[in-house]
Structures are given as structure tokens and as C-alpha cells.
Amino acid sequence: GRHGLPSSTVEILDAKTREKLCFLDKVEPQATIAEIKNLFTKTHPQWYPARQSLRLDPKGKSLKDEDVLQKLPVGTTATLYFRDLGAQISWVTVFLTEYAGPLFIYLLFYFRVPFIYGRKYDFTSSRHTVVHLACICHSFHYIKRLLETLFVHRFSHGTMPLRNIFKNCTYYWGFAAWMAYYINHPLYTPPTYGAQQVKLALAIFVICQLGNFSIHMALRDLRPAGSKTRKIPYPTRNPFTWLFLLVSCPNYTYEVRVLALFSLVGFTQMTIWAKGKHRSYLKEFRDYPPLRMPIIPFLL
């Protein structure tokens, strides 16, 4: 070998069938698993490196790309077991698909394209300011995510299995369509508490978006470009990152807070309705079941 060390031979077997797939002669002891994957691809082009999982034991853990051959517990002949991880897709592609979808879908409902709400509403526009505001917020949220995917996030794993994208897109695209259908519906009425409620919700939305972005920037600065090192995140001078003192994933805390607010407002309104209906039942029926509560069992 290059460094005066004897070169190794590497044989790669199928982890399931134990069939010999590849025999590599004169492999440098300094070679990394990534380099071995590249050599393997030359004889089996259908298994590009991202699809390969190489392990020392057929049922063991996958070796990391940066693992060095001579540091592994193998002799001059190394036997590695191969598993096919299936078709892979880059994380960037995944996120662009997941986030561009909801942005586009929401706008279809906002502009009321034909076949959604009936002919007379085609390309009409809502008279409520809150509906236009909702569209701006929704679009901003997903444009922010798209830009972060391209310019902020650093992915430690370059790819993920293709099948995952269908599951994730069903969630994001479906949720966007479900929300957009009702918000942009011609019969939509603004919220109960009017302008105050809208202003409060908008303020919380802006704070949460800023907070989420601050956390993403702090996480990015932990990892130098091109490296895979992992460090514990700590608060920075930015007050939005101080949540790190209390939670591991404040970016999700900020995301959920927006949803929690919407749920709370909805819940408050429904509680008012439920209590009214409950009272009228009690007045009307003398033998009304005593255990029943208006909305939450035993509580409310």
C-alpha cells in the first residue's frame, strides 16, 4: 500500500442471501467506507452509494461513510454485508416538494379556480381582509421554508428513501387543501371577536416565525459547512433562542404555538355554544342524564 501498510481485500456479500456480490483486491487500509461504496458501484451501477448499507454483521448497524477500513475490527480480508436501502431522493428535493405543494395548492383555492366552489364563484375574490391576510401568512410560511431549505439547513444525511416522500406530501398537501377550502370558501365568515382576534393572531404568528427562523440559524451555525459534527445547541445573544434553556427543539415549539392559538380560539367558541345547548337541555328535560357535561367529560 501507499503508506507501507499491506493492502487489504474486501469481499461484499448480500446480507440476506450471503451471496458474494463483489471482491475488491488491493484496497488501501486508509480507505473509507464511502470509497468502498464507490468501488462497489463500479461493478453494480444499480446500487449507487446512497442506496448502500454496508455492515460488519448481516443484522448489525450500518457503517458510517467516514469509517476507515483499518480502524474496523477486521483482518487483511474484510467481509462486509450489503443491504439495499431502496431508491433514495435528496433531502433538498424532498423539502422543495413538500413545501412547494402546499404553497401552490393554497393559491388554487385563494384564486377560486374553476371546479372548486361552483361556477358563479370562479376567480372571484373574498371581501374579507382576514382572508387575504391568511393567504399572505400561509404563503410567507412556505416561502420561508423553501428559502431555508435552499440557504439555511445543512443536512447530515444527504438522502432519504423515496417512499417517505409520498407519506410526507400526503400530510402537507392534504392539510393545506383542507384548510384552504374552508378559509377561502365564499360562505366564510370572519372570526367571532373581529379585528382584535385577528391582530393578536397575526402578532403571535410573526413572533413564532421569527423564533422558528432564529432557532434554524442557531442550529446551522453549530455545524460548519461540509462537516457532520454534532454539538449540543445552546442559547445565543438572540432572545428567541433562549427557549433552548427549557426545550430541545424550540423550532417545533414555535411552530406548534401558532396551531395551539387557533385551537384555543376554536375551543373557546365551541365551549360557549356547548354550554348554551347544555343549559337548554337541562331546562327542557327534567330527567336529563346527570353525568353529562357540555364539552369535556367530568370537567367542563
What percentage of the chain carries pLDDT values higher than 90?
A: 54
* Confidence bin at 220 (pLDDT 50/70/90): confident
Q: Return the pLDDT at 136.
A: 96
Q: Return the pLDDT at 263.
A: 77
Q: What confidence tens digit (pLDDT) does each residue in 168-210 have?
A: 899 889 999 999 999 999 999 888 778 888 898 899 899 999 9
Q: What confidence tens digit (pLDDT) does each residue in 25-72 have?
A: 888 888 999 999 999 999 999 999 999 999 999 999 999 988 998 888
* Residue position matching grid coordinates 373557546: 268
Helix axes 129-151, 91-110, angle to 10 degrees: 170
Q: How far is CA 51 from CA 87, 105, 116, 159, 162, in A?
A: 6, 32, 41, 9, 11
Q: Return the pLDDT at 209.
A: 93
Tell me the C-alpha distance between 154 and 144, whole Å. Answer: 16
* Confidence bin at 2 (pLDDT 50/70/90): low
Q: Does residue 1 surpass a pLDDT of 60? A: no
Backbone φ/ψ region at 20: left (φ over 0), alpha (ψ -120 to 50), beta: beta
Q: Return the pLDDT at 4.
A: 58
Kindly report the CATH class assigned to 8-86: alpha beta
| In the chain, domain spans | 8-86, 89-264
Q: Does residue 284 surpass a pLDDT of 70? A: yes
